[in-house]
Amino acid sequence: MTEPPQPPSDPNQPYGPGQPTQGPPSGPGRYQPPSGYPQQGYPQQGYPPQPQPGYPQYSAGAYGQYPQQPYAQGGYPQPALARPGAGLAARLGTRLSRRPEARFGISLAAGGVALALVGVLVWGFGYFAAGLQIDLGLDGGPPRANGESRRFLGAGLALAMVVIGYLLVVLRRRGPLATAGVVASAFGVPLMMIFLTLDVGHLFAGQFPISIDAVWLVSIIVWLISYFAVPGAQGRAFYLAAAAIGLAGYVGFKTGENALLRTAASTVNNGSLSSGAGTGSIAAVGLIFGLAYYAVAVFLDRSGRSGAAVALVVAGFGVTLGGVIAAVPTFHQIGTGVLLIVLGALLGWYGGYFGRRFTTWVWTAALVIGVGLIVQKIIPSDYTGAGILLIAVGAVVVVLAQVISSLSTEAPEFEATPAQAPAATS
């Protein structure tokens, strides 16, 4: 058997993670192996066990009682490494379990890309509209539009944004440039599809000038592929939130047959817009999808995957809010107030329980707005009575808040710390 490697004679040069010392090969001055491993095997030589060909260095039988411990919460995050056969959680990495921190540079980069995307929209549509010629068919032929090939400038600009965005995401992975790439690639896809499917001639047949199905479905598919499979984009909540909002919006659009747009553009009836017929189905889709997203977010938060839960919380807020707005013509003022109180209580409690600031604040505010709507409906014109009622209700809400906080052993917003003693003076 060959002799195990000798530690260097210079005590200032470390031997692996341990530190050699001068002295005999055994006894107090012998080489000290790294802490955390059992010091057994070869006690006469004073060195830790050496690996043998064909055998693992640390067998499960001898060292199974020393499992590797994960990093404690708050330590330096260690992303999970993707490997053959690894689960989805390992492939998505740290972004699955941790919420991104707020950074000014990263937010500013996202704002810069938003400006660039608006520039693509303005340039592309301006160029398209400048060369568009409408033939109303006064000569007996069907109405038609000429110059629609000019839409390809906008499509090309949007495609360039998408390509540059994915390059930044893949090459940079983190930081402002990577975030700029995420925003560019996410919003560039539907913008590109809008230009590609733009056909003004459809307006003459009473149809939309773009393909709603193509824009929505292609975007959702690309966003999901980006979230689950594209290196650097994996686990980024932005793509998952966009896909969730897009899915709910698409289902609501197909179910309600674009009732909101038809209501907004309807003819004036008795000095006001006609009632929003068909918005009930949109409200139902919004509330069902929104609450379902929040339910998934609760599950993810409970399982320690708060990073992915961010996407569902963002999508849940937007979709639920859209459902509430669409429900106003059906629920009227009292019903909308009751709905806001119920949603505000449930979702505000969820946000507070899992430490989600925006969710807690915005849905608690929705609860307060719901109370205000009911009070205003009960006492519409008597300002004295309305003021007294609001004061009384507000006092009841404050007392109720204290009771709920006490019963649920809710922690305070700040932990109390002992005051520093004044410095001693001579």
Strands 268-269 vs 272-273: parallel, antiparallel or unpaired? antiparallel
Between 345 and 62, residue with greater pLDDT: 345
Q: Which residues contact 105 (CB under 8 A, 6 or more apart)?
A: 175, 176
Helix (H, G, I), strand (E, B) or coil at 135: strand
The whole-number pLDDT of residue 343 equals: 95
Residue 134 pairs in a beta bridge with: 145
The percentage of the chain sitting over the pLDDT mark of 90, rounded to a whole number, equals 34
pLDDT digits (tens, 9 = 90+) for 207-234: 788 888 999 999 999 999 999 989 888 8
| DSSP character string of 261-303 | HHHHTSPEETTEEPP-TTHHHHHHHHHHHHHHHHHHHHHHHHT
Nearest to 107 by CA among 188, 171, 186, 183: 183
- Give the whole-angstrom CA distance, residue 9 versus residue 11: 6
Question: Around 425, how many Cα atoms within 13 Å sit in the side-chain half-sphere?
Answer: 1
H-state helical runs in 303-425: 306-353, 357-378, 383-407
Helix (H, G, I), strand (E, B) or coil at 51: coil
pLDDT digits (tens, 9 = 90+) for 300-359: 999 888 888 999 999 999 999 999 998 998 898 999 999 999 999 999 999 988 888 899
- Give the whole-angstrom CA distance, residue 93 versus residue 86: 11
Above 60 in pLDDT, residue 238?
A: yes
Would you mind telling me the total number of residues written for the chain in this entry? 426
Cβ atoms of 236 and 182 within 8 Å: the answer is yes
The whole-number pLDDT of residue 136 equals: 66
- Give the whole-angstrom CA distance, residue 288 versus residue 282: 10
Tokens of 166: 């994915």
